[in-house]
Amino acid sequence: MSVPQPPEPIPGARLLFSLDPAVSHLNHGSFGAVPIGVQRAQQRLRDEMEANPLRFFTQGLVDRIAHSRRHLAGFLGADPDGSALVGNTTTGVAVVLQSLGLRPGDEVLSTDHGYGAVSLAIQRECRRTGAVSRVLPVPLAATDEQVVQIVSAGLRPGRTRLLVVDQLTSATAKLLPVAAIVGVAHEHDVPVLVDAAHAPGMLPTPVDSIGADFWAGNLHKWGYAPRGTALLAVAAPWRDRIEPLVVSWEQDTGYPARIEWQATLDYTPWLAAPAGLFTLRSLGVDRVREHNAALAAYGQRVVGDGLGVPPAQLPDPGGPGVALRLIPLPAGIATTIDAARALQTQIGARLAAEVAVMSWNGQGWLRLTGQVYNTAAEYERLAVRLPALLAQR
């Protein structure tokens, strides 16, 4: 089977970023990259804030935050009145967990594809409240129907107080059928929290169409927003129960202002976030999505070939628009989190390539992303150089 051709580069897109040209940045999924125009928009806001801090924080800032939230929620297909800006998806998850009022005997159900920090948050809240965390194993190659069946069989009506499921998994780059999962969970009266950290900007699914009770996604990954920008969407029946992690002066205003207002927080990422969406729209939202997904698929095949991985053993993310791809590493390499982190650092230092190395179920994985600033040559260069580095290990 021949390697697919890479997509045509989007003219001028690479020049929109201030990334070090001596490094191949193949891990956009971890921290994103902020376009230069968005950096400048945020800096102008910082300058405004520092020119007169009292005026900036006390004259209209709450309304400016709400205006930015409405813009971002509209792009994502979420109800602006049911959405709140938060620092990141993990923060949104923590807000939901501590608002549930878990008790001894309750359980929080998740899958073994969950993001590590989210899993830690679940475990901490369960320790604090006496609830139980239960994790469902889901095979990497499971079909959508099989995933729904596994989740449905794992629900315990009357005991499962929350189901946490990823829209696009971080560790395994797997697109899950969240709308179908939500439907099954609701049949059993189990509320659902969707971890959509990678969805905004990459996936076209409107938030409201998923039907989740809670949905949290980052705009600083694929939405070109400054880091520290995420949206928490909450279904109407739950909004009055959502409490902030820290109480501040908008507490009596209710949701969402009580979540968003944290006094001297730096709000410039949120205020500059619409500039990120402007950049995305200027390039063409569908065009960027198609380009990034095709480039990631090309990189997966090229690097997979370099490592001697047959195409049939390259995981399919389950969706044509997914710009994250996974490649299995040779047996015995990166089988633990610490080993994966060490290898990731070594690849960055010795090969001048920033990638994600994951350890999932005792197997090491290389996760690559595609973004408008990447070129086919970067994946081809990694495919040539990586096997020798791994052989030394």
Q: Which of 372, 346, 368 is nearest to 356 (CA)?
A: 368
Domain holding 77: CATH number?
Answer: 3.40.640.10
Distance of CA 281 to the CA centre of its chain: 20
pLDDT at 1: 53
Q: Which residues of the chain have pLDDT under 70?
A: 1-3
201 is in which domain, residue-wise?
38-278
Task: Give the per-residue pLDDT at 68.
Answer: 98
State the Rg of the chain over Cα.
Answer: 21
By three-state DSSP, how is residue 271 classified? helix
Mean pLDDT over each residue of the chain, to the nearest integer: 97
Boundary-marking domain end, from 260, 278, 296? 278
Q: What pLDDT is attached to residue 320?
A: 85
Q: What is the pLDDT of residue 234?
A: 98
Does one domain contain both 308 and 181? no
**What type of residue sits at position 389?**
L
Q: What pTM did the predictor assign?
A: 0.96
Cβ atoms 280, 134 nearer than 8 A: no
Do 270 and 304 lie in one domain? The reply is no
Instruction: State how far the Cα of 317 lies from the Cα of 37, in Å rounded to an integer.
Output: 32
Amino acid letter for position 190? V
pLDDT at res. 244: 95
Let me know the angle formed at the C-alpha of 75 by 70 and 79, rounded to the nearest 5 degrees: 50
212, 243, 278 - which closes a domain:
278
Q: What's the angle, vertex CA 303, arms to CA 297 and CA 309, rounded to 5?
A: 100
- The C-alpha atoms of residue 91 and residue 93 are separated, in whole angstroms, by 5
Query: Do 356 and 252 fall within a single domain?
Result: no
Last residue of a domain, one of 232, 252, 278: 278
pLDDT at residue 299, rounded to an integer: 98
Length of the chain: 393
- Is residue 68 within 8 Å of 271, Cβ to Cβ? yes
Element (H, E) at 384: helix 376-392
Domain count for the chain, please give it.
2
* AA identity, residue 385: R
| Same-domain status, 68 and 184 | yes
**346 and 266: one domain?**
no
Same domain, 151 and 254: yes
Question: For residue range 193-222, what is the model confidence (pLDDT) as tens digits?
Answer: 999 999 999 999 999 999 999 999 999 999
Q: Are residues 298 and 265 in the same domain?
A: no
207 is a domain residue: yes
- Count of C-beta atoms within a 10 Å radius of residue 125: 20
4 falls within a domain: no
In tens, the pLDDT along 292-348 reads 999 999 999 999 999 999 999 999 998 889 999 999 999 999 999 999 999 999 999
